[in-house]
């Protein structure tokens, strides 16, 4: 869509407001709105000013002026606003130099694709994320100097089997038994269908929706794979739609990786492949139908996995999911079909077009622009340096003996450890000026000060259970 076409759409749909959206550094959409009368073709070229010092991880107050530049191809009618509103995703620029801002996550993703093209390896990177989430009926939490707690509730929750509901109809999903039961056990069917249909009406291509393993409304809606930047854009629309459809029904959604104790967390298994023109480059005659290039790509993912986790699993809560001995893929190995490997080669279809790597570590708390870009940079590094991924591990990793496991590396055990790995291993991200040093440094600083240290300084409620009487 061109600027002229956006303006024509506004007239056709009687749009009254234009919502400008962009991604902050940690990974939340930000926005402001202008009346449609203020949108003309010049805005697509000149942009609109805003205060960059008020955005997390961005400018200092003495360098706060920045520009949002709307991208017409991202235009979409907002399905939730009362006033007819058209939203557009924006790039961020410096108003003086007109250079794209280094800490704009969308800019990092665009540079990653340009770097891929410059290497001659391929010209397209396709990404297919499988984001999981929880739908709750009530959530309360707080942390003050003399108290700290959270309380979650869900009509599906196993813990509500004995609650007075006048009547309580049963059908509460047992822990770890939420995968694919039909209604009435699955009480979220209509809600997920509405989410799916809203996505389709907003231009997203949905492959399926289903209940996930966890009790209490865990769900997954899968989008068809797409080009890296476009897919990151779609993931932000995906989250926006899911949260707002749930809110419309008096429910709340979280993409927090591990909100419930004793049940599955929410991951975001991410499929990735490289193409040149119409040719898929990961299909071949090697292990699991992979090309030599794809095996080297797997080697890059495994070599840099610990550093990648700083972007793909970027919260302290992420490491409540990535725990050895449970279902999450903490062991860094590759395998066909085996879901206990960090890198899996799906075997659903013999078509070369379906050949890809599935990196199973990520979770949906990530900033998709940064996470997908980091994965691509690791893939490129593996291909350029012919990194051998070693032998595949086709056994059930969780059945291996301690002796067999000792030679299998694993993911970091905490966000602090992942940030340390990123500090030690980020040269591959700097190539092509994709991740600049200020992006790496600011990410480590922001996450350490605002998340790692913030949690480290506060007593945990369970510590009172363990230690109060000592």
- Helix (H) / strand (E) containing 298: helix 292-303
Q: Which of 78, 104, 130, 263 is catalytic?
A: 130
Q: Which of the following is catalytic: 21, 103, 211, 269?
A: 269
Which of 78, 104, 132, 416 is flagged as catalytic? 132
**From 137, 156, 263, 358, active-site residue:** 358
Residues 31, 175, 210, 339: which is the catalytic one? Answer: 339
End-to-end CA distance of the chain: 66
- Strand 85-93 to 17-23 pairing: parallel
Query: Which tokens belong to 96?
Result: 């003086």
Active site residue 269: yes
The Cα 279–Cα 124 span in angstroms is 10
192 assigned to active site = no
Residue partners of 467: CB distance under 8 A and separation at least 6: none
Known active-site residue 138: no
Known catalytic membership, residue 51: yes
- Backbone phi, psi, residue 54, to 5°: -90, 0
For 174-177, the CB contacts below 8 A with 24+ separation are 174/215, 175/214, 175/215, 175/262, 175/263, 176/213, 176/214, 176/215, 176/263, 176/264, 177/213, 177/215
Q: Catalytic: 38?
A: no
Round to whole Å and give the CA distance between 444 and 422: 8
239, 274 contact by CB (below 8 A): no
Mark whether 220 is an active-site residue.
yes
- Distances 167 to 93, 137, 163, 196 between C-alpha atoms, Å: 57, 17, 9, 30
Measured CA to CA, the distance from residue 250 to residue 154 in angstroms comes to 12
Catalytic, 130? Answer yes
Q: 284 burial class (0-12, 13-18, 19+ CB within 10 angstroms)? A: middle
Which of the following is catalytic: 220, 233, 416, 451?
220
Active-site residue (options: 110, 321, 344, 360): 360
Distance CA 365, CA 132 (A): 10
Query: What is the pairing mode between strands 48-51 and 29-35?
Result: unpaired
Question: β-strands 343-345, 334-336: how paired?
Answer: parallel
Query: Is 212 among the catalytic positions?
Result: yes
Q: Which is catalytic among the residues 5, 40, 51, 63?
A: 51
Q: How many residues does the chain have?
A: 470
Please give the positions annotated as active site: 51, 130, 132, 212, 220, 269, 339, 358, 360
């Amino acid at each position: 869509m061109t600027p002229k076409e956006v303006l024509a759409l506004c007239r056709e749909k009687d749009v009254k407001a234009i919502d400008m959206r962009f991604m902050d550094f940690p990974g939340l959409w930000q926005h402001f709105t202008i009346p449609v009368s203020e949108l003309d073709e010049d805005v697509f070229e000149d942009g609109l000013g805003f205060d960059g010092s008020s955005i997390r991880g961005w400018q200092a107050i003495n360098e706060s002026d920045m520009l949002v530049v709307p991208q017409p191809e991202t235009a979409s009618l907002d399905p939730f606003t009362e006033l007819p509103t058209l939203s557009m995703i924006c790039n961020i620029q410096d108003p003086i130099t007109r250079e794209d801002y280094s800490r704009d996550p969308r800019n990092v993703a665009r540079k990653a694709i340009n770097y891929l093209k410059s290497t001659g390896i391929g010209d397209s990177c396709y990404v297919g994320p499988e984001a999981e989430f929880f739908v709750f009926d009530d959530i309360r939490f707080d942390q003050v100097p003399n108290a700290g707690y959270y309380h979650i509730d869900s009509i599906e929750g196993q813990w509500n089997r004995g609650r007075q509901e006048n009547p309580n109809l049963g059908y509460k999903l047992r822990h770890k038994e939420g995968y694919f039961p039909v209604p009435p056990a699955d009480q979220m069917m209509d809600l997920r269908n509405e989410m799916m249909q809203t996505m389709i009406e907003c231009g997203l291509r949905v492959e399926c929706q289903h209940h996930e393993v966890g009790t209490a409304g865990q769900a997954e809606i899968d989008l068809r794979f797409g080009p890296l930047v476009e897919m990151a854009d779609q993931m932000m629309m995906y989250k926006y739609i899911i949260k707002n459809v749930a809110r419309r029904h008096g429910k709340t959604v979280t993409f927090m990786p591990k909100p419930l104790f004793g049940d599955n967390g929410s991951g975001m298994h991410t499929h990735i492949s490289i193409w040149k023109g119409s040719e898929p480059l990961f299909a071949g005659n090697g292990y699991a139908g992979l090309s030599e290039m794809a095996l080297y790509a797997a080697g890059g993912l495994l070599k840099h996995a610990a550093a990648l986790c700083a972007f793909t699993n970027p919260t302290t809560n992420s490491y409540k999911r990535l725990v050895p001995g449970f279902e999450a893929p903490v062991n860094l190995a590759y395998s066909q079909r085996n879901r206990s490997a960090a890198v899996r080669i799906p075997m659903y279809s013999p078509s070369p077009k379906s050949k890809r790597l599935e990196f199973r570590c990520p979770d949906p708390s990530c900033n998709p622009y940064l996470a997908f870009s980091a994965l691509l940079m690791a893939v490129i590094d593996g291909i350029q340096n012919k990194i051998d991924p070693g032998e595949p591990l086709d056994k059930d990793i969780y059945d291996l003996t301690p002796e067999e496991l000792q030679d299998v590396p694993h993911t970091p055990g905490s966000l602090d450890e992942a940030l340390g790995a990123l500090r030690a291993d980020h040269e591959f991200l700097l190539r092509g000026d994709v991740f600049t040093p200020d992006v790496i440094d600011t990410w480590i600083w922001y996450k350490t000060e605002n998340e790692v240290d913030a949690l480290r300084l506060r007593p945990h409620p369970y510590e009172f259970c363990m230690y109060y009487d000592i």
